[in-house]
Chains A and B, each alone.
Chain A
Amino acid sequence: MKPKTDPKGYWRANIKYVLILLAIWFVVSYGAGIVFKDELNTIKIGGFKLGFWFAQQGAMYVFVVLIFVYVKLMNNLDKKFGYDE
């Protein structure tokens, strides 16, 4: 006997996760790496100016983390709504 499914609720939760994660995606790359680069460059960490670091290193690391967070969130969501395989 399968648990009762709620595709609409599942989709809403999914969209919420995607929007939050994409907001972070946008902020670290287009925000920190491009638009606010000059402001952030006044801060220095080691030999890196912070805006430059986001553009050439930091944004990429955050991207990797974002996908794995999404994988984890969605696996939990699948279980909660009975779509797990």
Chain B
Amino acid sequence: MMNKILLIAEMDVQTWTYILVGITFTLYIGIAIWSRAGSTKEFYVAGGGVSPLANGMATAADWMSAASFISMAGIISFAGYDGAVYLMGWTGGYVLLALLLAPYLRKFGKFTVPDFIGDRYYSKTARIVAVFCALLVSFTYVAGQMRGVGIVFSRFLEVDINTGVIIGMLIVLFYAVLGGMKGITYTQVAQYCVLIFAFMVPAIFISIQMTGNPIPQLGFGSELSDGSGTFLLDKLDGLSTQLGFAEYTEGSKSMIDVFAITLALMVGTAGLPHVIVRFFTVKRVKDARKSAGIALLLIVILYATAPAVAAFARTNLIETVSNQPYANVPDWFKKWEETKLISFIDKNSDGKIQYVADDAFLKGDDGKFDFAKPNLKTKNELYVDRDIMVLANPEIAKLPNWVIALVAAGGLAAALSTAAGLLLVISSSVSHDLIKKIIKPSISEKGELVAARLSAVGAVCVAGYFGINPPGFVAAVVALAFGLAAASFFPAIILGIFYKRMNKEGAIAGMVVGIVSMLLYMMKYKLGWFDEELPSKSEWWFGISPEGFGTIAMILNFIVSITIMKFTKAPPQEVQDLVENIRIPSGAGEATH
């Protein structure tokens, strides 16, 4: 007995990781076998009878990706106040979703977002434009998820990133192809539990260590427990300005850009097809409203903890490394140095780490930092990858090995659940919107189910390919998926519900102008395709970054839609009746063809 306890205490991180990841993966596969889909309705909308609680949990897991779990706290800890664009942007969208979209789309009661656009705007062209937008948004997003799966595997299980991507592909393939929406829904419920537990445990430990308060959201605003009587945030503001960074609680982006990015992310969230489609799976309109509330509550548990983790980790990092002799750095520093997530170069040869503002290294031709080329214009000697703030946090705070392993299982749950949701949107866009509704309407129910499964297989392979060979621009455009969703779907759906007179000419023109202007701005100011080099920030329109341009593109979409509509004829009576009908909550029935 004694020996066993000793054994558990001494088990290393890798063994723990294999055990926890193994258990969670077995669970996901078990759920997939239990809940496999037998009809297209089960495949597309889980049969339409999911409870609001289960749907809320599934939506939360669907929504929180590897980026939310691994990268967000890190981004905030380097951006300080500016990180609020993600916090407010990725939660405020749910208010729009609950009040303006979810109840009406549920009442409409079809399978996909292009279904709504196609029927409401009585046009195959509108449907095709919507399918194109859905595929564009989902593919930019899913490639990042597969890469995330690979990175988590490679860091914690010491396998090659590509092997990690392939393992992830096989798991997702198994439960998305077998279970469709039904399988995904119930695995996402399990994945939510895993990821929230994995995120909260280290956060609570660290909050207790630093401030003595077990609730991170309160510890964030408390005094440090070192007896100095200083508030954590005051300390952090002081350290930041002392080292030449912007004051932590002030940030450095312009107000108009913060405003535009937040709005683009909010509206984009409300327009993302893989989120919207989750609300087709509940029974009644009132369940759709309620599950939006539950989803946001469950998301905010993580999102309100992330900025606290960010502030703790930032303070910890500065105190551990700044002006300390390199010879004395802790083990985690060396370990992450091997994976190139931390890099140190002693520019003034004093043996100590000078950590101040500006990039310590110059960028190579591939746009990544080249650790052989120190940037001699600055005294900064340290590069720290943002992802380290969550990944290495348990080690920095000296937490037990099982907590470190838990973070790996949580990161995988977050990446897999989002990837599965996106793959389902891609496969239903192809099998339902393209094959059933446009190319071959005579296809049988059985044939459509086979087509749905085959498209899921195809989508997994394409996503895996991009995960293994990420084109340079994928990482840069993932954040812009929101801008694309904001510029295309959001205005078309809102006008479709709230403006009975809106017709197909207006909606199609609006979507096309919105998405094209977003793509062009992105190519010019984010990817630099039109000029010799990337244009500088001073050339941005109204000082708005490509991430925030979704707001402008959305406004353009609204203006174009309404102007064109004024000059073209009103939609037919049956469409106007349809709009009247979706405004009334009762009689939603079950989602049908």
Beta-carbon contact of B84 and A33 below 8 Å: yes
B217/A64 in contact, CB under 8 A: no
- Residue from B76, B92, B220, B231 in contact with A29 in the complex, judged by beta carbons closer than 8 Å: B92
Query: Which residues of chain B (42-99) have a CB below 8 Å from chain A?
Result: 76, 81, 83-84, 87-88, 91-92, 94-95, 98-99
- How far apart are the CA atoms of A64 and B285 in the complex, in Å? 19
Size of the B side of the interface (Cβ < 8 Å), in residues, is: 49
Contact with B along A1-40 (1 / 0, CB 8 A): 0000101001100100010011001000110011101000
Contact assessment for A63 and B296 in the assembled complex, using a CB-CB cutoff below 8 Å: yes
| Nearest 5 pairs of A and B residues by beta carbon | A47-B231, A55-B84, A67-B293, A47-B221, A83-B586
User: In this complex, what residue of B is CB-closest to A69?
Assistant: B293
Q: A residues within 8 A CB of B413?
A: none
B474 at the interface (CB under 8 A from A): no
Asked if A60 contacts B99 (CB within 8 A), the reply is: no
State how many angstroms separate the Cβ of A50 from the closest Cβ of chain B.
Answer: 11
Contact A47-B81, Cβ < 8 Å, known A41-B249, A53-B221, A60-B88: no
CA A20 to CA B220, docked complex, whole Å: 31
B580 lies within 8 A of chain A by Cβ: yes
Q: Which residue of B lies closest to A75 (CB)?
A: B286
Residue of A nearest to B89 (CB): A29
Q: How far is the CA of A46 from the CA of B223 in the complex (A)?
A: 8
Return A69 CB to nearest CB of chain B, in Å. Answer: 9
B88 touches A25 (CB 8 A): no
Cβ B87 vs Cβ A60 within 8 A:
yes
Q: Does B307 sit at the interface, judged by CB under 8 A?
A: yes
Q: List 23 A-B contacts (CB under 8 A).
A: A5-B584, A18-B99, A29-B92, A34-B262, A35-B259, A46-B221, A47-B232, A49-B249, A52-B81, A52-B249, A55-B84, A57-B304, A60-B300, A61-B300, A63-B94, A63-B95, A64-B297, A67-B94, A74-B286, A85-B284, A85-B285, A85-B286, A85-B587
Taking a contact as CB atoms under 8 Å apart, the answer to whether B286 and A71 are in contact is: yes
Q: Contact check, A59 vs B286: say whether CB atoms are below 8 A apart.
A: no
Cross-interface CB contact of A48 among B221, B580, B586, cutoff 8 Å: B221
Within 8 Å of chain A (Cβ to Cβ): is B222?
A: yes
Measured in the bound complex, the distance between the Cα atoms of B99 and A18 in whole Å is 6
Q: Which residues of B contact A7 (CB under 8 A)?
A: 580, 583-584
Residue of A nearest to B290 (CB): A71
Task: Beyond the given A30-B262, A83-B585, please list 19 additional residue pairs across the A-B interface where CB-CB is below 8 A.
Answer: A18-B99, A25-B92, A30-B259, A30-B263, A34-B84, A46-B231, A47-B221, A47-B222, A47-B231, A48-B221, A53-B221, A56-B76, A56-B307, A64-B296, A64-B300, A67-B94, A71-B290, A74-B103, A85-B585
**B residues within 8 A CB of A53?**
221
* Contact indicator B307/A57 (Cβ below 8 Å): yes
Most interface-central of B98, B103, B292 (chain A CB within 10 A): B98
Chain A residue nearest in CB terms to B80 = A52
CB-CB < 8 A to A18: which residues of B? 99-100
Task: Enumerate chain B residues within 8 angstroms of A33, measured Cβ to Cβ.
Answer: 84, 88
Distance (Å) between the CB of B249 and the closest chain A CB? 4
Given A21-B99, A35-B259, A52-B249: A61 in contact with B81 (beta carbons within 8 A): no
Q: How far is the CA of A60 from the CA of B305 in the complex (A)?
A: 11
A interface, CB within 8 angstroms of B: 5, 7, 10-11, 14, 18, 21-22, 25, 29-30, 33-35, 37, 41, 45-49, 52-53, 55-57, 59-61, 63-64, 66-68, 70-71, 74-75, 78, 83-85
Q: List residues of B whose CB falls within 8 A of some A CB.
A: 76, 81, 83-84, 87-88, 91-92, 94-95, 98-100, 103, 217, 220-223, 231-234, 249, 255, 258-259, 262-263, 284-286, 289-290, 292-293, 296-297, 300, 303-304, 307, 580, 583-588
Q: A29-B88, A55-B88, A63-B91 are in contact. Are A68 and B293 (CB under 8 A)?
A: yes
Whole-angstrom distance between the alpha carbons of A30 and B255 in the complex?
Answer: 10
Bound form: Cα–Cα A84–B289 in Å = 14
A21 and B588 CA atoms in complex are apart in Å by 25
Known contacts A11-B583, A34-B255, A47-B232; decide if A60 and B286 are in contact (CB<8 Å): no
Query: What's the nearest-Cβ distance from chain A to residue B246, in Å?
Result: 13
Distance, CA A30 to CA B262, complexed state (A): 8
Q: Which residues of A contact B231 (CB under 8 A)?
A: 46-47
Please state if B221 and A70 are interface contacts (CB–CB under 8 Å): no
User: Is the beta-carbon distance between A59 and B88 smaller than 8 angstroms?
Assistant: yes
Q: Tell me whether B304 and A67 are in contact (CB under 8 A).
A: no
A10, B584: Cβ atoms under 8 Å?
A: yes
- Rounded to whole angstroms, the CA-CA distance of A63 and B222 in the bound complex is 24
- Minimum CB–CB distance from A30 to chain B (whole Å) comes to 6
Establish whether residues B87 and A70, one from each chain, have CB atoms under 8 Å apart when the complex forms: no
| Complex contacts, A63 vs chain B, CB 8 Å | 91-92, 94-95, 296, 300
Closest Cβ neighbor of B237 among chain A residues: A49
**In the docked arrangement, what's the CA distance between A76 and B290, Å?**
13
A18 and B588 alpha carbons, distance in the complex (Å)? 21
Residue of A nearest to B289 (CB): A71
